[in-house]
C-alpha cells in the first residue's frame, strides 16, 4: 500500500459541492412551490449563483489539466463569495426595502431574461420585504449564506489538497 497522496486530483469534492448547490436550489424551489415562500430578486440571484457554482464544480471535476482546474476553482470561489455577498446584502439591506426594482439583482435577472426562460425556477414573485421569512427561526437567506460558506470551505480544502499533492 502506498501512503503517498495520489497525483490524480479527486473528483469527489467538486462533485459533492455541485450536488450541494443543486440541492440548495431544489430546497428553495420546494419552499416556494410547496410552502409558498415567494422569492424576491435577491433570492433568484442566489439560485442562479448556486447553479453557476454547480456547473463550475462539474467542469472542475472533469477538467483535463491543472491550469484549467485552477481557473475553474478560482471562478467557483469568486461565485461563492458573490453568493455570500448577495445573502448578506439581502439580509442587511434588501429585506428592509419595500421594492427591489432596479437593484443589482433585478437588473441581472432582467438582463439575462431568466424569468422567461424558466419561470418556475427564476420568476420573482415577491418584494424584498415580503420575502424576508424564516425557516425554523433562521432567516431564509442565512441558510443560503451557510451553504455558500460551506462551498467556500470546500474550495479552500480542495486548493490545500492540491498544494499538498504538488509538494509531495
Cα separation, 152 vs 148, whole angstroms = 6
Residues 6+ away with beta carbon under 8 Å from 4: 168
CB 50 within 8 A of CB 86: no
Question: Average pLDDT, whole number, for the chain?
Answer: 86
CA distance 29 to 25: 6
d(CA 2, CA 130): 57
Tell me the CA distances in angstroms from 52 to 22, 55, 58, 145, one per residue in order: 10, 5, 10, 16
pLDDT for 11-64, tens place per residue? Answer: 899 999 999 999 999 999 998 989 888 888 999 999 999 999 999 999 999 999
In order of their start, the domains of the chain are 12-167 (1.20.1550.10)
Q: How many helices (H) and strands (E) does the chain have?
A: 7, 2
Question: Does 80 or 136 have the greater pLDDT score?
Answer: 80
Global pTM value: 0.87
In tens, the pLDDT along 113-131 reads 998 888 888 988 877 767 7
Amino acid at each position: 500500500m502506498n501512503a503517498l497522496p495520489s497525483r490524480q486530483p479527486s473528483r469527489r469534492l467538486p462533485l459533492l459541492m455541485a450536488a450541494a448547490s443543486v440541492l440548495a436550489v431544489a430546497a428553495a424551489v420546494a419552499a416556494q412551490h410547496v410552502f409558498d415562500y415567494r422569492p424576491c430578486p435577491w433570492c433568484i440571484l442566489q439560485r442562479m449563483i448556486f447553479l453557476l457554482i454547480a456547473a463550475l464544480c462539474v467542469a472542475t471535476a472533469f477538467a483535463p489539466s491543472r491550469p484549467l482546474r485552477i481557473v475553474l476553482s478560482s471562478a467557483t470561489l469568486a461565485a461563492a463569495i458573490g453568493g455570500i455577498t448577495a445573502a448578506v446584502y439581502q439580509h442587511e439591506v434588501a429585506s428592509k426595502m419595500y421594492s427591489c426594482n432596479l437593484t443589482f439583482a433585478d437588473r441581472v435577472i432582467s438582463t439575462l431574461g431568466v424569468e422567461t426562460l424558466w419561470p418556475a425556477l427564476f420568476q420573482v414573485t415577491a418584494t424584498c420585504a415580503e420575502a424576508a421569512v424564516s425557516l425554523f427561526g433562521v432567516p431564509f437567506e442565512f441558510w443560503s449564506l451557510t451553504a455558500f460558506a460551506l462551498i467556500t470551505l470546500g474550495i479552500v480544502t480542495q486548493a490545500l489538497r492540491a498544494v499538498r499533492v504538488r509538494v509531495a
